[in-house]
């Protein structure tokens, strides 16, 4: 679908607002390549409850498999493209044989916002011939960027491994780096159709959308329902109900969830001390950060970092 068709689904001011917000987010975001390769998998590709801090896109060219979580289950089929956004819990299963191109990449935004912050689900679209061309070009631009040692997330999602993959981008020719960014954006664009990204019927209320954008870009600041409601020119009780109707979460629960997600990202992708991570994600104290983090992830921040940052 052409970009103009996407916005044609939505009325005047809403379309303009959506276009402006999405363009702003995409333009200020960079995507750091981690891995790209073509692999042939078997029944050993069987991993559960994987929640990564990075994105994955698969192009299936043979065989079959399954991606599933409590919200959905998708069969990996030849001729289809799949996206698993960051922080989307997913299970992987192959009964016999699966041939796939894959690319994984980190989303880097200065303010911590995310293109798929409100669409953490497994996505599927029919592949085109151009998608295969893009993957093959990615491989030509970035040779030897596959997961050679193991396909187990418990191995390749460790901080030293992720960091070593990201550092490879520093040695890529500038032209190859820029082209790689463009290809990743092209592949991502395949999942930004109304049917896939957000259907018209489920279109989020503009004031809730504005509040979400404000939350994601101000996680390090004090955030209250009263302040968010004031920005939306609504009564706090009504705003809270409207927010829950469109997101499934009360505003404070949503804020906590996004702060924990951001903290997970910083724990895995930086060497920042816990106190600084707590401050940068808006927690008033290290003890409160630790308690809430354990409540949401069943691990303390220290345990989470140790489990993801050492072999």
The CATH number for 241's domain is: 1.10.10.60
Q: Which of 178, 197, 216 is the last residue of a domain?
A: 197
Domain co-membership, 155 together with 279: no
Distance from C-alpha of 63 to C-alpha of 78, rounded to nearest angstrom: 7
Distance from C-alpha of 198 to C-alpha of 247, rounded to nearest angstrom: 12
pTM of the model: 0.69
Beta bridge partners of 67: 74, 92
Alpha-carbon torsion angle 269, 272, 275, 279, nearest 10? -70
Counting the structural domains of the chain, the total is: 2
Distance from C-alpha of 248 to C-alpha of 94, rounded to nearest angstrom: 32
Q: Which of 197, 223, 250 is the last residue of a domain?
A: 197
For residue 41, give Cα distances in angstroms to 64, 96, 137, 139, 155.
10, 8, 22, 18, 17
The distance from CA 2 to its chain's CA centroid, rounded to whole angstroms, is: 23
Residue 130 phi, psi (nearest 5)? -65, -35
Domain co-membership, 211 together with 285: yes
Domain co-membership, 183 together with 120: yes
The domain in which residue 216 lies consists of: 204-309
Domain co-membership, 61 together with 112: yes
DSSP letter at 234 equals S
Which SS3 state, helix, strand or coil, does residue 56 take? Answer: strand
The distance from CA 24 to its chain's CA centroid, rounded to whole angstroms, is: 17
Domain co-membership, 208 together with 159: no
Please check whether residue 240 lies inside any domain of the structure: yes
Domain co-membership, 182 together with 301: no
Structure tokens given for 257: 């969830």
The CATH number for 58's domain is: 2.60.120.280
pLDDT per residue as tens, the chain (311 positions): 444 444 444 444 444 444 455 555 555 678 889 999 999 999 999 998 888 888 999 999 999 999 988 777 899 999 999 999 988 888 999 999 999 999 999 888 766 667 777 677 899 999 999 999 999 999 999 998 988 766 677 666 666 777 788 888 888 899 999 999 999 999 999 998 776 655 444 456 778 878 887 888 888 889 999 999 999 999 999 999 989 888 888 999 999 988 998 898 888 878 889 999 999 999 999 999 999 999 988 889 998 888 776 43
Domain co-membership, 166 together with 289: no
172 contact partners, CB below 8 Å, separation of at least 6: 141, 142, 180
Domain co-membership, 292 together with 267: yes
């Amino acid at each position: 679908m052409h970009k103009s068709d996407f916005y044609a689904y939505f009325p005047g001011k809403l379309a303009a607002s959506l276009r402006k917000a999405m363009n702003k987010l995409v333009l200020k975001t960079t995507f750091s390549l981690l891995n790209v390769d073509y692999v042939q998998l078997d029944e050993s590709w069987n991993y559960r409850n994987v929640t990564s801090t990075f994105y994955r896109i698969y192009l299936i060219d043979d065989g079959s498999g399954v991606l599933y979580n409590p919200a959905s289950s998708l069969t990996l089929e030849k001729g289809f493209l799949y996206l698993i956004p960051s922080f989307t819990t997913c299970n992987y299963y192959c009964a016999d044989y699966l041939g796939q191109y894959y690319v994984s990449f980190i989303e880097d935004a200065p303010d911590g916002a995310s293109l798929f912050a409100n669409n953490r689900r497994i996505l599927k679209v029919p592949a085109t011939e151009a998608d295969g061309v893009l993957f093959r070009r990615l491989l030509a631009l970035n040779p030897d960027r596959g997961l050679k040692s193991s396909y187990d997330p418990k191995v390749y999602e460790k901080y030293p491994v992720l960091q070593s993959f990201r550092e490879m981008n520093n040695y890529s020719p500038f032209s190859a780096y820029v082209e790689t960014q463009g290809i990743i954006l092209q592949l991502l664009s395949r999942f930004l159709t109304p049917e896939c990204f957000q259907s018209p019927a489920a279109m989020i209320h503009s004031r809730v959308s504005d509040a979400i954008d404000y939350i994601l870009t101000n996680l390090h600041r004090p955030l209250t329902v009263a302040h968010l409601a004031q920005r939306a020119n609504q009564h706090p009780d009504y705003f809270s109900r409207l927010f829950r109707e469109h997101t499934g979460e009360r505003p404070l629960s949503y804020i906590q969830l996004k702060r924990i997600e951001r903290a997970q990202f910083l724990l895995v992708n930086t060497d920042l001390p816990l106190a600084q991570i707590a401050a940068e994600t808006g927690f008033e104290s290290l003890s409160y950060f630790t308690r809430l983090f354990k409540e949401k992830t069943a691990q303390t921040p220290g345990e989470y970092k140790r489990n993801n940052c050492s072999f």
